Amino acid sequence: AAMDSGSARSELDTQEYEETLEARLGKSREMMRVVLNKAKSDPKRVALAEGTDEKMIRAAYQIQEQGIAYPVLIGGEDEIRQTAENLGLDFEPEVADPQNGDWDHYADRLYELRRRKGLTKNEAHELVRRDTNYFASVMVEQDDADAMLTGLTHHYPSALRPPLQVVGTADDAEYAAGVYMLTFKNRVVFCADTTVNLAPDSDVLAEITKHTAELARRFNIEPRAAMLSYSNFGSVTNEGTRKPRDAVKLLHDDAEVDFPVDGEMQADTAVVEDILQGTYEFSDLEDPANVLVFPNLEAGNIGYKLLQRLGGAEAIGPMLVGMGKPVHVLQRGDEVKDIVNLAGVAVVDAQNE
């Protein structure tokens, strides 16, 4: 009997687990559907810097078939076409082959942009021919493509550097930042910065918050931002807790900020309604925050990974915000679906250019 009741319980648990999973996946699919439908309404050209990579080619096929974007695969044309054929993918993708064709104008542009940063003319020609991250960055900078994805085959910082050097930040931005959207059963949170700025000052935190709030609106989510710390509204004062506190002041003084933001606060304060409405009823946040801004890269990177792996969230990202053009740097090991999703996000970014 004990065994029976045990197995009944575990069946129930399984059922509950599956329902939760279904709800969560449902939520995350719903979020992505909003973005992918927006993308399909006006698809843009997306340069895939790692065009010879099998996953990129599979993603390009799906992106094109579903009408999300016009993919441009960067890399050796013969290799790309042969790989597509071997994979049994029946499509004729657009390919830009840096080793074939006249790309001198890209090298000249790269030289113009970087000659006062120590780059020689020869090096510029070498980079455009041999490094598809530079090629794709110049292609996007020159408006020959509307957006770019890279990162599958590189360490994150080395994939990020060429677009930072060539495309740079938007006119209203000084800092790029990486955002993950995490979907749970009943809520969605945007975590920033999870990938770029090691030790952001208060002005960097404030900028990251504004860009992440804008991103949330692309997903039809009204942002409510919390500046996270291990201190609640001045309960501990030192250099570490002062930065998020000062960032909140900057945002409260900024006439452009049209969403609630507060802090510094502990993570549980940010996401638990009872704490916000009880102990901290004076806070600008009445409802739990959905934009979580971490005080530094360690906290942000560790925090989103724990939420994803132990909290069971579906993660979409990292989405780069603050760039001059839509550029997203994938993580090594990302799946085809991650590439397709980020292509959708990039197209929606490009539509807003």
Give the integer Cα–Cα distance in Å for 198 and 157. 12
What does the radius of gyration of the chain's CA atoms come to, in whole angstroms? 22
Give the integer Cα–Cα distance in Å for 74 and 279. 55
Strand residue runs (E) in 158-313: 177-183, 188-192, 225-228, 261-265, 291-293
Closest CB 157 distance from ligand ACO, rounded Å: 3
Interaction site with ligand ACO (CB under 6 A): 117, 156-157, 160-161, 164-165, 169, 175-176, 195-198, 301, 318, 331
Backbone CA torsion sign across 15, 20, 21, 23: positive
Smaller CB distance to ligand ACO: residue 72 or 204? 204
Smaller CB distance to ligand ACO: residue 72 or 215? 215
Residue 240 tokens read as: 């570490």
Nearest to 181 by CA among 333, 284, 34, 287: 34
Coil, strand, or helix at residue 262? strand
Smaller CB distance to ligand ACO: residue 114 or 218? 114
Closest CB 211 distance from ligand ACO, rounded Å: 11
Closest CB 349 distance from ligand ACO, rounded Å: 16
Smaller CB distance to ligand ACO: residue 70 or 156? 156
Smaller CB distance to ligand ACO: residue 1 or 198? 198
Closest CB 117 distance from ligand ACO, rounded Å: 5
Smaller CB distance to ligand ACO: residue 67 or 157? 157
Task: Compute the 3-state secondary structure of the chain and give helix, strand, coil in percent, each to the nearest 5.
Answer: 50, 15, 35
Closest CB 116 distance from ligand ACO, rounded Å: 9
Closest CB 171 distance from ligand ACO, rounded Å: 13
